[in-house]
A and B are shown apart, each in its own frame.
Chain A
Amino acid sequence: QITLKESGPTLVKPTQTLTLTCTFSGFSLSTSGVGVGWIRQPPGKALEWLALIYWDDDKRYSPSLKSRLTITKDTSKNQVVLTMTNMDPVDTATYYCARLLWFGDLNWFDPWGQGTLVTVSS
């Protein structure tokens, strides 16, 4: 059974840095064709892809947030960490991590973690 779970603060202040951890089980991030991505969803809005790290440590970021994001992995701990700097109230959202399956031009997310709601407020 494959599971992912997000953890981190539920409340951060504006300008602070957010650190989220995705802890997963049932697969290895050292397996070719596997990645872990972060996707967020502001309340009542659509999904927005943020970042992704691949099995070979290649990384991709959303261009609109690239300057604020860092994604890393710890294969031995089965964890992926996302940091987002200079948080703003507009970053209030539920943050999901999800496993990516990569087959060249075919890339999809399955399964997803339960998500964690992060509120940015002073």
Chain B
Amino acid sequence: SYVLTQPPSVSVAPGQTARITCGGNNIGSKSVHWYQQKPGQAPVLVVYDDSDRPSGIPERFSGSNSGNTATLTISRVEAGDEADYYCQVWDSSSDLYYVFGTGTKVTVL
């Protein structure tokens, strides 16, 4: 089945840029979605279809996808961005249709 690999943790100072990667075989050919999960809360969609933002999500959140790596970028990081982030794809070529990444903990220093 398809596997999505994320770094376990990313640390960033307030005001700086955080980049969270999601690695998968030829992931650039798939549509990638990103979820933010704050402690004790349900996940929230922050980016869909590689780079689109749902209504209400700040422009500071952006995404890209090419080759074997998709990236979620958080610009001008704020303390409130501290959370776990998960990537997700739909893989029609395997039985595991809905695949989530391993998750990345973003810590704001």
Chain A interfacial positions (CB closer than 8 Å to B): 37, 39, 46-49, 52, 60, 62-63, 96, 98, 105-115
Apart from A60-B97, A106-B90, what 15 extra A-B contacts exist at CB < 8 Å?
Answer: A46-B101, A47-B35, A49-B97, A60-B98, A63-B1, A98-B43, A106-B31, A107-B31, A108-B33, A108-B48, A108-B88, A109-B45, A111-B44, A111-B45, A112-B43
On whether the beta carbons of A112 and B44 are closer than 8 Å, the reply is yes
Of all chain B residues, the one with the shortest Cβ separation from A94 is B42
Count, chain B residues at interface, CB 8 A: 25
Query: How far is A111 from B33 in the complex, measured between Cα atoms in Å?
Result: 13
Q: A37-B98, A52-B98, A110-B54 are in contact. Are A46 and B103 (CB under 8 A)?
A: yes
Dominant secondary structure of chain A at its interface with chain B: strand
Shortest C-beta distance, A102 to chain B (Å), equals 9
